[in-house]
Amino acid sequence: MAIVVVGSVAFDTIQSPFGKAEKILGGSATYFSLAASYFTDVRIVAVVGEDFGPEYESVLRQRGVNLDGLQRAAGLTFHWGGEYGENVNEAKTHFTHLNVFEKFQPQIPQQYLDSQFLFLANIDPILQAQVRRQMRNVRMVGGDTMNFWINGKRPELLATLKLVDLLLINDTEAKMLAGEANLLRAANKVMAMGPKALVIKHGEYGATIFFGDRKFGIGHHPFRAPALPLDEVRDPTGAGDSFAGGFMGYIASQEELNREVLKRAMFYGGVMGSFAVERFGPERLQNLTREEIDARFEVFRELTHLD
């Protein structure tokens, strides 16, 4: 079943202890799409500038990503530059040039309207809500946000959360959104804002999913999925978006929506995030095999079993 992702297609300039990469393909929708493409059909909605050549499009097309919703605008493509030190969980931003992304107005192509799944990547919550209202018949809506919107557009974000089935954010964002230092209480407060389930990402320590009552049944018992210990993390950029792509992509590939499917999806999210950080940019996500993905999935599963 097809999934539509609305977010950024961008360029990144990245410095890490392993080297530097200048103006490589990036953006939330890019990482999400590549990761999800191993599980289901992906349709992208984003905007790029005149400097976004066919060589960048081909990266997505070769993975079967539908680019009918990729808008072209006069100007330059969104470009972010940052640096990672020894603490790979934190990036120091050197510059953020929004360029054509600053005036992005998502337009959903007619041929996308039969999609059953929607993921609202990290963009203005006003735009997220507009997209959600254009796609009223989707089976499930996932969403993302960040501290910039939590602090700067809280009323708009709270309105958007009522339209989201499942929210994926990190520990700090969850506590900030809820105004609560305890993670369990924060999760319950966030779900009371609208989402039926909540995935809280813990970076190199895995992720936890919390379940509400209304859609996925079986109470509020959370489920924790570990992260895979890695020899090298060359570039953490896009790890969270790759997690979201694996997570939502797997869900979209299943006939049923229930707690067990979401639990398995947590492992596939972790798998795709772990591949993403092994190279600069989305390089590793471009040439995986499903056999590699499933083999690493089994490693993740073994981490959670004593026997």
Averaged pLDDT of the chain: 93
Please, what's the b/e burial string for 202-224 (b: 16 or more CB within 10 A of its CB; e: otherwise)? Answer: bbbebbbbbbbeeebeeeeeebe
Q: pLDDT tens digits for 173-204?
A: 999 999 999 999 999 999 999 999 999 999 88
| pLDDT score of 63 | 97
Q: Tokens standing for 268? A: 């596939």
Residue 77 CB burial class (10 angstroms; 0-12, 13-18, ≥19): buried
| pLDDT score of 131 | 96
User: Residue ranges of the domains in the chain?
Assistant: 3-303
Q: pLDDT tens digits for 96-151?
A: 999 999 999 999 999 999 999 999 999 999 999 999 999 988 999 999 999 999 99
| pLDDT score of 212 | 83
Q: pLDDT tens digits for 48-81?
A: 999 999 999 999 999 999 999 999 999 999 999 9
- The rounded percent of the chain whose pLDDT value lies above 90 is 82
| pLDDT score of 227 | 85
| pLDDT score of 177 | 97
| pLDDT score of 305 | 72
Instruction: Flag the least confident range among 22-36, 228-242, 260-274.
Output: 228-242
Q: How far is CA 57 from CA 12, 47, 52, 178, 243, in A?
A: 15, 12, 8, 39, 22
Confidence of residue 306 (pLDDT cuts 50, 70, 90): low
Confidence of residue 217 (pLDDT cuts 50, 70, 90): low
| Cα 133 from chain centre | 20
**Closest among 156, 222, 219, 151 to 183, alpha carbons compared:** 222
CATH of the domain spanning 3-303: 3.40.1190.20
Q: How far apart are the first and last CA of the chain?
A: 35
| pLDDT score of 219 | 55
